[in-house]
Amino acid sequence: MADDKKLTTRDADFSAWYNEVVLRSELADYSPVKGCMVIRPNGYGIWERMQRQLDDMFKATGHQNAYFPLLIPESFLHKEAQHVEGFAPEAAVVTHGGGKKLEEPLIIRPTSETIIYTMFAKWVQSYRDLPILMNQWANVVRWEMRTRLFLRTTEFLWQEGHTAHVSEAEAEEEARKMLGVYRDFMEGWVAMPVVTGRKTDSERFAGALRTYSCEAMMQDNKALQAGTSHNLGQNFAKAFDLKFQAENGATEHAWNTSWGVSTRMVGGLVMTHGDDTGLRVPPLLAPIELVIVPIYRTPDEQTLVLEAAERIRKSLGDWDRREPARLRIHVDTREGMKPGAKYYEWELRGVPLRLEIGPRDLASNQGVLVRRDTREKRPVSLGILGEEVSDTLSRMQRDMLAAALDRREANSVRARIDYGAFKELMEGKGGFVYAGWCGDAACEAQIKDETKATIRCLPDEEFQSATKPTECLKCGRPSTVEALWARAY
């Protein structure tokens, strides 16, 4: 398993720290296929819990799952002008199948608008067939030059929601609603606070009318775009002939939305919560919530302590009948390994709670409960262990969100800042800067060019500053809108 070498610290080299945490906590590994990673059980267990919860939230908002082909005729991409411009350069192309050259090359889906709206067009005749509210869990491929585990890989896993509506208002409501679902999930489950808002034209999804996103701040003060939701307008409906007969008899093009989050969120979790000891997983997403480490010297003690550990595992596993969510407990029974080495490893892997029990603890019917986030240690009576563990996990979940929120706000600048100071900040410790923008794409491009910072989003009202900015960060002309600036992954 993990080797004993100390982790690089976040301060010393955040990027090296990130890779080490991902590899050594066995979330993922490099594969022999360029740009593709292997998601190991520790990482996949987190992703599975993300999937399960998101899937429940999608179903609760009326969506159904379906599955569309991996391979898409190259010509489909070309039907929507902006879309092909955005995705053709990243395409992986299948030219041969079954030993023969294909008549038309197929691309591996980078996203599925083209194939899905082709099918919608086949299924929709009248307004009665709308809305269609679908989601697909799938892998996609985008040829990337510089890849990072979880954050940017050639293949990644995601979900993509696709919907069709009778009106622009309904599509807009859907796009906003799903952005809200993402925010609820990221804050409630990943304990990762996000700023929501609209993308500028230059950062919009290729083919969308409007793109909304969730932007989180990582511990190096860079932004991570953790999820996007698009109002596609009628762009794809027109390109793929998705029409319906309206209630008034007229033939109209449908209005679409699409929205997606991916395994990138696992990277966001690491960079939001990890510390110099390793990973910290929010309890709701932890494949193991509590690890029990038995302590003993003699074979008699071993028998005694392992029996007690197993008894606890069974009773807590059933404790409060929260089906199917009984507490997820693991007893570390490995022999020939000191308790200290086990602590080290489980801390590296980010398991939220650890219970240490030895013969002396058992004699006084207690154990020592250790929180991974604060590393607080305290004796707990085994008689009330179930309540204690359950309460502590809930508290941790809240505390982790609060800590991440505090960190974000401490590294956000809302005061008026001149461009020189802004540039210095971006080249130094970074952070989120809320500042005025004249709305001119030239200013946006120049700032990006000179500072590597981009407009992450035009924040939604609740994230906007109490005092509205009055002038553009770059040109000093009157501001038309407040923008959130940051360097980003």
Residue numbers of the site for its own copies (CB under 8 A)? 29, 31-33, 36-41, 44-45, 47-48, 64-73, 76, 88-99, 105-106, 108, 115, 118-119, 122-123, 134, 138-139, 141, 143-145, 154-155, 157, 323-324
Minimum distance between the CB of residue 308 and its own copies, rounded to whole angstroms? 23
Asked whether 279 and 18 are in contact (CB, 8 A), the reply is no
Minimum distance between the CB of residue 287 and its own copies, rounded to whole angstroms? 9
Strands 255-262 and 155-165: antiparallel
Distance CA 159, CA 139 (A): 8
Closest CA to 457 of 261, 258, 171, 225: 225
Neighbours of 50 (CB within 10 A): 23
- Measured from the CB atom, is 212 or 244 closer to its own copies? 244
Minimum distance between the CB of residue 134 and its own copies, rounded to whole angstroms? 7
Minimum distance between the CB of residue 452 and its own copies, rounded to whole angstroms? 23
Asked whether 229 and 176 are in contact (CB, 8 A), the reply is yes
Minimum distance between the CB of residue 423 and its own copies, rounded to whole angstroms? 32
Minimum distance between the CB of residue 292 and its own copies, rounded to whole angstroms? 19
Token reading at 412? 């956000």
Q: Is the peptide bond before 478 cis (omega within 30 degrees of 0)?
A: no
Minimum distance between the CB of residue 257 and its own copies, rounded to whole angstroms? 17
Measured at the CA of 179, the angle between CA 178 and CA 182, to 5 degrees, comes to: 85
- Measured from the CB atom, is 78 or 416 closer to its own copies? 78
Q: Which value, to the nearest 10 degrees, does the dihedral of the CA atoms of residues 61, 67, 69, 72 take?
A: -10
Minimum distance between the CB of residue 76 and its own copies, rounded to whole angstroms? 8
Token reading at 313? 């595992």
- Rg of the Cα trace of the chain? 25
Segments in 411-485 forming alpha helices (H): 419-427, 441-451
Asked whether 367 and 384 are in contact (CB, 8 A), the reply is no
Distance CA 84, CA 82 (A): 6
CB contact set of 472 (below 8 Å; sequence gap of 6+): 436, 437, 438, 440, 443, 478, 479
Minimum distance between the CB of residue 34 and its own copies, rounded to whole angstroms? 9
Which residues face 70 on adjacent strands? none
Minimum distance between the CB of residue 145 and its own copies, rounded to whole angstroms? 7
Asked whether 107 and 94 are in contact (CB, 8 A), the reply is yes
- Measured from the CB atom, is 111 or 479 closer to its own copies? 111
Strands 329-331 and 255-262: unpaired
Asked whether 132 and 242 are in contact (CB, 8 A), the reply is no
Token reading at 97? 């199948």
Distance CA 316, CA 321 (A): 9
Asked whether 437 and 479 are in contact (CB, 8 A), the reply is yes
Token reading at 49? 């819990």
Closest CA to 258 of 306, 221, 208: 208
- Measured from the CB atom, is 51 or 277 closer to its own copies? 51
Minimum distance between the CB of residue 391 and its own copies, rounded to whole angstroms? 22
Minimum distance between the CB of residue 341 and its own copies, rounded to whole angstroms? 14
